[in-house]
Each structure stands twice: as C-alpha cells, then as structure tokens.
Structure 1
Amino acid sequence: MAKLSKDEMSTLIGKLGSLSPFEQKDVLIKVARGEQAERPADRQMLNAGRGNPNFLATEPRHAFWQLGRFATHEAERSFGHIPGGVGGFALRGGLRESFSRFLDENEGEPGITFLKRTAHYVRDHLGLDIEDFLYEMADGILACNYPVPDRMLKLSEVIVGEYLKKEMIGDHPFAGKFDTYAVEGGTAAMTYIFNTMRENHLIKAGDTIALGMPIFTPYIEIPELNDYKLNVVHLEAKVENGWQYSKQELDKLRDPKVKAFFLVNPSNPPSVKISDESLKHIAEIVKVRPDLIFLTDDVYGTFADNFTSLFALAPHNTILVYSYSKYFGATGWRLGTVSTHEDNVLDRLIAELPKNLKDELHHRYESITTEPAKLKFIDRLVADSRTVALNHTAGLSTPQQVQMVLFSLFALMDTEEVYKNSLKHLIRSRKKALFKEIGISFAAEDENQVDYYTVLDVEYLGERAFGRKFVDWLLKNVQPSELLFRLASEAQVVLLPGRGFGTQHPSGRVSLANLNEADYKKIGVALRKLIEEYVERYNAATGEKLDKNKVV
C-alpha cells in the first residue's frame, strides 16, 4: 500500500468502522506493510489480530504420520501380488500382530511410543477392542472409504466423546449419553446449526434469539442475513463487572419470546469464562423455560482453570460446539464437533410441531430414512450439511477424524496435564509482558480469566488512569479506528477492533496466542507511546496537567 495523504488516511479511517473486524484486520495489515517499506529493516509488522496460535501439539502429529506408514504397509500387504504400486484395504485379520511388529521395528522413532500407549489406553481404560480400533484407524487414515457412519466413525465418536467429557464436563454430575457429529471446524458447526434450526422450524424470520455479548463476530452477523432475519436481544457482559453477565441480564432469558441463547464460553474477545454462579443461574432459568435452546461454543475452554461447560449443567437444552483448532494448534486441519444429549429439547420441539410442518419435514427427509419423524436433530444436521440429497456422502474426511482421535487420546493420557499447563503458562506470561510495558497493573488476577485474548478497553482503562474528563475528550476528538490505524501505520502493530465483537466501549483485541513474548513487549511499548501522546494533546487542549506516565 502506497503512503497515504492526510486526507486519504482520514477517509480510510472513517470507512474502517463499517467493516467486520476481520476485514478491518486485512486493511490494517496492508497499512502496516505499506508503511513498513519506509522504515528500518528491523521494524517488522506485529500482527496480534488473528487468533491463530503459534504453538501446536507435536506428539499426536508424529503419531499420525507413523500410523499412516503402518496403514500404507498394510495396504501393500493386502494386494502385494499386483505390480505398479497397487494396494488394497487393510486386512482385519492379523492387524494387531502386524501393528506390534511395526512398533518393535520402529522403536525409538518419534510417535512410536505414543502409538504404543494409545493401544493400551483404548483397551484398558476405554474398554474398546484393540483390533477394531486399529482397523478403524488404518482404514480411516488411508481415506479409502466414505465416512461410515456418516455422523462420525463408531469408535472415533466414543474416544472424542471421552475427551469432551474430560474437558467440558469434568467432575460435574452428568446423566445419560450424548451424540457427537465431527465437522469441519467450529465455523462449519455454526453454519450447519443455524441452517438446520431454520429448516426444522426451530427458528424462523422474525423470531427472537439472545446473544451473550461480546461474542465472536459471525454470531452477530449471521442472524441479520436474509437467510434468517432474526430479532436479537443482547445480554451484556460488562468490563466493569469482570466481563460477567449480571443476573438482571441473564433474566432476559425468562422472556418466552426468546427462542435460543447463543454464547461463546470462555468469551471472545474478553477471554473470560462464565462464573459458576452465572452458570447455575442459567440452569435455574431452564426450570421455568424448559423450551429454551442453548448453543455454547467452548473452543477456549481448554485454556481455563477448572472449566465446566453449560452443557454439563443444562445438557438437555444445550448444543455443545467445540473446535480442536486453538488448543492443538490445528486451524488448518478444520476439526470440530457438535454434541447433543440423547434426550434433548430440540428433538422434543420438532416432535411437537403442527401436522403440516411435520408433513413438510417428512417429505424433506424421507429419502434417507423410512421413519423421518424419528430422525434426531443431530442426524438432520448431518443430512442438511449435504442438502439431504447428498447424505450418502456426508461426514468429515476420515483422516481428519483420525487426527482428531489422536489429539483426544493425547489429552486423555496426559493425566498430569503437562501440555495444558505449558500453554497456560505461555499465554499468561505474554499477557504479563504486554501489560507491564503498557503500564497496566492488576492487584489480583480474576480466576475466570483465560487470557487467550485480552481486550484493551479505551474507555474503562482511560477513565481508571486519567479520569472521566480525559475519556470524554478522547472520545469526542478521536475516532476509535484512528487508534488502531495509527498503531498499524506508525508502529506496524495490528489489533482487532473490540466494537466488531459487540463490546460496549471502543477497544482493541490482542491475541496472546500468535506472537512471542518479546513481541508483546514491543506492542506494549507502542501502545504506551500512543497513550502518552494523547495525554499530551489533552493537556495542551485543556490546560490540565495529567501525568502521562501514570500506571493504569
């Protein structure tokens, strides 16, 4: 991007506010790169905008490639008499012996010890037949068959279910079973759920849903599309309340007009988990609103201390969405899940639809089952993901499911939570480095903070440090987009606007996952320099003498 004139910069800043935060990020990246060309070579862009982590789980990846080698050898064994590199399906008979031999022959190589441990774990702890497991994994990693069952491979669903129990439910009492659908990341889960809820008359144009704000931007944007045209009630989690929902806000769910409540927990961008008190209050609301549907997107739950999902407290009313992308550093794999309890409000509400709508749905799904009325919501989700007519080719690719299983087993077998604790320490050290350079000090950390992201709230922090008069002057004289633009233009620092996620005040979202600690120190220095400049401008304009070096 060429250097912009002052008028061009003012025009661009004015336009930024209408864009999605992710589109704003792309503009800011161009600004940062364009200005960078005129800077010294050691001034590099620091993109703390997108939440793609720069860490990843290596052991289950090593295991994936080793398992691929083993499965390919088995394919060659199947059709070994045919020349030209032709293989066949892995043979179930003798698979366990062949696997043991493969492990012995490759002893000491990365991933081999992990594979050996998985074999023992699925047999001894999960009670699964080891040969059935090896066959599903070998067949799956070879990708030589369609996904069957289409919702998820049989043993893969069991293993992933155990992982979700560990991370999402923990020690909380939980009765009954739940079904899981493997999908192409959390984004696919959102797309499919909105669509199937509409197709099955659980939501329709003009209906009202509630959103827990602030929230991942697509949850704000999708209901407004012509596809849905939903009315939205906002439940505000406020910065001055530690990003928690007050009981007054949660009680908006008691209104019978509200059909569903969608939330991200821990939140995005504040990265704070819902308090136990609030979760219990929501569960109490269900007692008077048994028809209420919840969707909880818990992708960041694995970074929290002692996390419990709303799915654990209100399982019959909750759709659980989880993505493997952040915790395992696997955004490119596109691995996610949708889970529903075997006894859930979605199936009940569909069963209670009027006859004309039931007849319509009977016609929609009659090509895939002889009893459409008995088709579960989660299986309708699978069918709708392929426009029903292509249901026979539905399902997440089998190599993706294999990697999902290996990630799950990696976490299940890490009983000391070494990997989890390492990641927590990593991101929290980055936050401390950032805040130290900005000059932000907290007397005590909030136990509900997760710290995958942090939100720098201009109004809240500005008032806390310099008073209300300074904040009022700043908001009157400076567009929120200007702050982000100047960081990109002058310091090559890219942040996302908090307003795009529904924050009430102008703010910037900083991802603490995708840069190194030294980079966050540099970002902190750049932010502090900008703060001090605006304090100086305020002093010059008002004649006051605020201390620009004050710690927040």
Structure 2
Amino acid sequence: MAKGRAESKDKSGIEALSPFELKDELIKAAGGGAAERPANFSMLNAGRGNPNFLATIPRHGFWQLGAFAMRESERSFSYMPEGVGGFPQRAGIVERFDQFLRENKGQPGIDFIGGAVSYVRDQLGLSAGDFLYEMCEGILACNYPVPDRMLKLSEIIVGQYLRREMIGKHPFVGEFDVFAVEGGTAAMTYIFNTMRENFLIKAGDTIALGMPIFTPYIEIPELNDYQLNVVHLNATVENNWQYSKKELDKLRDPKIKAFFLVNPSNPPSVKISDESLEYIAEIVKERPDLILLTDDVYGTFADNFVSLFALAPKNTILVYSYSKYFGATGWRLGTIATHQDNVLDAAIAKLPKDEKKILHERYKSITTEPDKLKFIDRLVADSRTVALNHTAGLSTPQQVQMVLFSLFSLMDTPDAYKNALKRLIRSRKRALFEEMGIAYDESDPNQVDYYSIIDMEYYGEKLYGREFVDWLLKQTQPNELLFRLASDARVVLLPGKGFGTAHPSGRVSLANLNEADYRKIGRAVRKLTAEYVERYNAATGKKLDPNAVKK
C-alpha cells in the first residue's frame, strides 16, 4: 500500500516539487496533516533546519535594554497621563544606565548588557553614550533606520563579529561594508535582483553553482526573471563532500560570470577544505573578473572556520544569517558584506555607455552622483524599488538584537556557547548513525554536522554491495523510501536530490530534535533497509545479512 501510494504521488508530478514543498506531502503521509489524530500520535520531523536550541543571554539582554529604553522614553512628556513618551536623551545617558544596572543587579541579562557597554567602550573604542543612545532609539523603533544600510555603530560591531567568525586569524587587507537584511533568504533575493538590474548578469549568461546546495540557488536562475545557464561544480560523498580540482577548474571558463556556493554545505554540512579555498583563490588571480558569492550561515558551527571572503575579499559577496547559530529564525536577521574595493563596483564602472545611462536614470533620484553609487548601496535602493529608498533598512529592533547576538559572541572568548552547540549536534549524529548500524567517523576536521545526508546508494553499497544497490534503484520509485519512512515510521526527511545530490538520499537536520529522537530515526532507517534486503534475498536467492554493520 505504501509503495503504491508513493508511486502514485511520483506519477502525479510530485517529484518536481522543491524539497521544502515535498516536506508537506511527507508530513501528510506521516499522518501529520490529519484533522484528528490519536492522543499518542508522534511524528519525527527532521525535515527542517529550525533548531530547537537558542541563545538565552543576549535575549535577556534585549529585554533589559528595552526596559531601560522605556525609562528613557518616559522621562519626556511625564506630565501627560495618556501613555505618551519621547525620544531618549543623549546627555547623561551613561550615568542613568549605570544607575539602572545597580537597581536591577542580579536580574537575568543585566550583567550581559553592562558587560556589552563596557566591551564596546574598552575593546572597540566606541563611545558608550553614543552606543547606548543608538540602542535605545533602535529598540524603541522611534526613528527610521539611519543610515539606511545599517545603523552606524551597529555596522561596526556586526563587522567585528563577521571578522571574528568569518575571517578569524587569516590576513585581511582593507575594510568592508555591511548591509543588514531580513535573513539570508532576503540577501539572496536582493543580490540576484541587483546583479540583474546592474547588468552584472543577463539572460543567457552562465553562472556556476557549488552542488549540492540550498535549493533556491538551483531554482532562482531558472526563473523567467533571470534565465541563466548553470554549470554545476559537484562535491561528492565519495570525496567527503569536497570539490575535486577537476570540478573547480570549471571556474577557469571565462563564460562563467559568477560562482555561488554555500559553505559549510547544505545539506552535507561539510566546510570546504583549506586546500580547495586556496585553489579557488588561485583561480581568481587568473580570473580577476569572477564574482563569488559565499553563503556561510553554518560557518559558526565549524571548527576554525575561514570564509572564502577572507581569501578573495575583493571578488566575494559574503552572506551570513544569525538564524541557525542563535536559534533566531523568527527574527529574520542576516547580513551582506562586500569589500570596499570590489569587482562589482569595478564591473559597473566598465559597463557600456548605454547601460551606464540606464543606471544613471535609475538611481538619479537618490543621489547627485548616481554613477558613483556603490553596489552595496544599490542593493539597499533596489530592496525598496529605488523610489522608496528613503524608507529602506532593516527594522531597528532587529538590528539591536543582531548587535546583542554579535556582542555575546565577541565577549565569549573561550567559545563556551559555540562548543556547547557542537557537542549537542555531534552527540545527536553519533546516536543516529549508531542505530543505523554505521560507525560515526569523527576523523574529518571539515565535518560540521548541522545536517547529515543518509545516502542510500553510498551506504547501501558499503553495507551490502553494488548488486543490491543496483537492484534497489530499479525496484523503487523516486522518493519512495522517504514516503515509506513517513507512512510506516512517521519519520520525515527531505530528499537530497532536491539539493542536487548525485544519489538518492535523505537530509536529516541534527538541530531540531532530541538525541532519543535521532535514535528512533536511525532504527527506522535500519528497519526499512533490512526489509528491502530481505526482499532482495527472496528475489535473487542471495543471503545478505539485513543487520549488517559498517565498521
């Protein structure tokens, strides 16, 4: 019955769905879409990457800072009993904040915001008063975001966070600009759009994608808005999800205008090796016009992470989201960073006169020198269709929380929070693989483990041989195994194929369930695999052990 159900769904074209839309069908197959469910109903949805952990200290700090800001606001118009407040006052704000800390000593978040102000003053060399005023005005949301790209001190602090987490100890020459956006997905939307509007990519152009990759990077170039040709650079499970030099050499083709990648990868959750990063940087020296975009949302879960932005800063657009590391998907906090001397601005400056004229007309309403407008500021303008540029910018309370997350990390010099998260997700992966009967290999320093790929072809061959895998692929329809897991075991995974994996596979998020749940998922996968092994034995007369264990 389950097999027929899966086949009918595939025949109806369901295999064309994005994995995130297919997830809803898998949830239905698991009974999760039923209007009435038994009281003991239990579904294990490892399909989404939303973590079940979050950073509490900077959130406590946000609420305490909000309480202080409200006190500041209520100092004005206090004669009016109708609940009218005013803007905070810059004069004396540091002294009033110190008094607030004393009055609330011992409350959650108080030590953190006190330490944050001290860090901003003593370590970053910024004015404590200016910082407190920006944070109070920002958390009260009583003014437009000014500057629109990002609040002044907020950009400096977030920039320091990006330096620590994305660049680390790697030498970096020059400065970079930051645009605060509504999460990594908004960053993708803005970047594709502004590159098109500024003739950096045109219909029929060729870009490269590092595969597998977050599905929208596959889908956006195909849209009628862009109509781009795509070259795939394939990282494979056989190569520990690294790109071979042969694959990276595809970037030498001058037809390729840009290379987009997610690092660490989604869904394999493996960071690009140092050797590969250096190899890409060498290619960039030969191709100084190549545009790179690196989406590094999972970099903060890696050991000793260094972004491609550090090695090829002038060619690279850095996208980073706070959503996963801080458990803040609902906040929609992301950044776009570009070096102040970059190939995007250089390419725009070299455009033909007719295209420059079009862009001059596009941006002339927001600046007296539209031809000199930087790419990152064009992103800001285009995010509000240029005409609404005066209301551009991420909401100021969002920027305040982003700043507090950044300071929380900067102040955590022993990386206690980061190490706790690493232990958490790696313990979950170990539990999953133990129950699947596959040894968890911890020797690869590039593993990040936010997600894991259960590659049925790869692991099936390791456990049972190539003949079994060939038989299995012939006997099963696309996504049948995922629907069987959903309907039989109420386990929901995402299809790896939707992210561009070479083999049939399922993506398991290691962030959104508890360790016992991953043991259940591992047992369900093993039970389903054993069933197919027994069917194979019956059909072929072989005697494979359905409970084989891979050492």
* TM-score bracket, shorter-length normalisation: over 0.9
1:102-501 equivalences under 5 Å are: 102-442=100-440, 444-501=442-499
Q: Which residue type is aligned with residue 353 of structure 2?
A: K
Deviations 1:222-275 (A, max 9, x none): 000000000000000011000000001001000000000000000000000000
Residue 315 of structure 1 aligns to a residue whose secondary structure is coil
Q: Which secondary structure does the structure 2 equivalent of 1:316 belong to?
A: coil
Cα deviation code 1:392-439 (max 9, x no counterpart) = 000000000000000000000000100000000000000000000000
Query: Are 1:10 and 2:19 matched, yes or no?
Result: no
Aligned residue type for 1:518: A
- Measured in 2, the distance between the counterparts of 1:418 and 1:210 equals 37
Please give the secondary structure, in 1, of the residue aligned with 2:539.
Answer: helix
Paired AA for residue 333 in structure 1: W
| Greater Cα offset, 366-375 or 29-38 | 29-38
What percentage of aligned pairs have identical amino acids?
76
Alpha-carbon contact 2:201-2:257 (below 8 Å) kept = yes
- Mean Cα deviation higher: 120-129 or 8-17: 8-17
Mapped to 1, the partners of 2:449 and 2:132 lie a distance apart of 38
Aligned pairs (5 A) from 1:14-33: 14=11, 15-33=13-31
Q: Distance in 2 between matches of 1:274 and 1:225?
A: 28
1:158-185 Cα distance to aligned partner (Å, 9 max, x none): 0000000000000000010000000000
Q: In the alignment, residue 315 of structure 1 is paired with which amino acid?
A: P
| Match of residue 46 from structure 2 | 48
Q: Distance in 2 between matches of 1:71 and 1:64?
A: 10
Q: Distance in 2 between matches of 1:43 and 1:83?
A: 52
> What amino acid is the match of 2:7?
S
Note if contact 1:45-1:492 (Cα within 8 Å) is conserved in structure 2.
yes
User: Normalising by structure 2, what TM-score?
Assistant: 0.98
Q: Which moved more, 1:363-372 or 1:72-81?
A: 72-81
TM-score for both structures, normalised by structure 1: 0.98
User: Which deviations, in whole Å up to 9, do the C-alpha atoms of 1:293-321 show, x marking residues without a partner?
Assistant: 00000000000000000000000000000
Amino acid at match of 1:254: R
- 1:101 partner letter: Q
Q: Which SS does the other structure have where 2:438 is aligned?
A: coil
Q: Which residue of structure 1 lines up, in the alignment, with residue 62 of structure 2?
A: 64
CA distance in 1, matches of 2:532, 2:339: 53
What amino acid is the match of 2:305? F
- The aligned counterpart of 2:534 is 536
Secondary structure in 2 matching 1:322: strand
Q: Which runs of 5+ in 2 are unaligned?
A: none
Structure 1: tracts of 5 or more residues without a match:
none
Secondary structure at the aligned position of 2:16 is classed as coil
What amino acid does structure 2 have at the position aligned with 1:499? K
Q: In structure 2, what is the Cα distance between the partners aligned to 1:424 and 1:180?
A: 27
Residue pair 1:274, 1:448 contacting (<8 A) in 2 also: yes
Q: CA deviation at 1:444?
A: 4.7
Q: Distance in 2 between matches of 1:508 and 1:443?
A: 19
In 1, Cα distance between equivalents of 2:383 and 2:56: 31
Letter in 1 for 2:279: H
| Aligned 8 A contact 1:36 1:44 in 2 | no
Which range moved further: 515-524 or 479-488? Answer: 479-488
Contact 1:35/1:489, CA 8 A, preserved across alignment: no
Counterpart code for 1:419? Y
Deviation at 1:443, TM superposition (A): 5.1
Post-superposition shift, 1:42?
3.8
Residues in 2 aligned to 1:528 and 1:327: alpha-carbon distance in whole angstroms: 30
- The C-alpha deviation readout for 1:91-137, integer Å capped at 9, x for no partner, is 11111111111111000000000011011100000000000000000
Q: Aligned to 1:295, what secondary structure does the other structure show?
A: strand
What is the CA distance between 1:38 and its match in structure 2?
10
Distance 1:186 1:79 in 2: 40
Residues 342 and 391 (structure 1 numbering): CA distance in 2 closer, same or farther, change over 3 Å? Answer: same
Shift of 1:326: 0.1
Distance 2:31 2:318 in 1: 39
Distance 1:439 1:39 in 2: 32
- SS of alignment partner, residue 356 of structure 1: helix
Moved over 4 A (4+): 4-9, 34-41
Q: Is the 8 A contact 2:3 2:480 kept in 1?
A: no
SS in 1 for 2:479: helix
> Shift in Å at residue 17 of structure 1?
1.3
Q: For residues 389 and 36 of structure 2, what CA distance do their matches in structure 1 show?
A: 55
**Is the 2:2–2:484 contact (alpha carbons within 8 Å) kept by the matching residues of 1?**
no
